[in-house]
Structure 1
């Protein structure tokens, strides 16, 4: 294995540690919960759901995987019938994921140059004990006994988790370049997705009304801003100096606002302006406002150059999903799998 390849693989493994901890944690935390009521024993009378290569996938494994997800399914289901249907669909999905995990690990091990450093597995295992078992090894061992799993077996699971996620990550990374033709085709076929409302990049200066303060007193403060603008000062700098709203330190920058985001008392005068223009003072019960148009986007279809990065991201995700599915189909065809 070259030094560069080893470094890359180690870096990828390191990134995955946090995500893997969460998954193992969820299983550990549900270990003492009551068993999930399901029909797995009826579906798989011998306790075996499938065999992938030399790995037997048991009903107990499925229950461990599904336990953290049951409360969410229960909340989302409208009745018992829907709950059972969702639960059975999840059973099938978990079985397929466990099968794919075996096949992916096999694919990784076919390349003798690939290797997960033992230190990564050891560090991850130590992190699990620290964060999920209060750094109490006796609690961890009790959890393993409850599962009927040895430390060696559990450590192998952790290593295979790292391999599984690394391989999936590599498949997603392999699809990262999108041709301009594909971007243009997607844009032309999905123009309805890129219609934008009238919007303004808004900067704002506010003077809050003090107790007993009159409209004329508020307007006097806004008149000073108008005078400074006429003298050539930037609205942003004046806002940092005098505005009393929450975005003062940002020069009154409220980002892009649609007409529907604002009260009519503010939106009507604001959207009548062009880029670089400022409203007349707007006096309201809560105070006085001056609104400045940093930039404008008019209602209509966004130009392709504005949405190109967004389209590229969509297409990369689509290509990654398709590529991953084709890859998994190949592994399934070439592997030994038996369903029960």
Structure 2
């Protein structure tokens, strides 16, 4: 649901018993009269499934794979139901609106090179065309949620002060970390063997980075496959809650000057070095108020969106075959 708020079916007519049997084998769910193919579920789950390559316990890997597929299917079912509501209400989006959203995504990620943007999209399994289609759907879904949910969301001053008190308690002794990283890129559709080969390459880079006197920034410029390579892999200062969990855990657990073991994310394997840490003060309430209000609004909106989707599910005919 979060992606709907951040803006930021295959139907086959087949003849013959054998063809029909093959179709059934590949159906993950039927939502009213719309079919969700297993391939759709696998594609949606691809980034998460790619992370399983590092799990060497077959039982755990199987359990995690099943859970990932289930969550991806739940998301696709919700999307089917919302798309039906969008069509019924006649909600549309113009190409100009999609282009504006695309420009916003690039701006938020500090991307100015179109080729770099296409490369990042490819790692997530998108082409420019399919990503525009995705954004268009997100926009109209957002409009539907604005119609159905927005009026229910209320933020009081008491809510904001309670959120600030919690923030101040958590952030009072917090630190910021300044880190650099080297990326060994991994395609979302990479085989387990390719993922493991990339991990070994990252491990070798980590060992090289730990050599006495090694300049990590120079090594990043020479070996990294990420967009920050020209800056020596510099990520600047960041607090908790900014990076993905695995990356954040390593950054805040390492001592200054230490180099991490390879860390897996959607983009591949990262080797991280902590350059420095510094204590940060608590931001005053009036300065934090707009951010806290936005966070609370998103949290409450997500809650009402989930309730709305559950209502749609109760009214729908849903047959899960996965």
TM-score normalized by structure 1?
Answer: 0.40
Structure with greater Cα Rg: 1
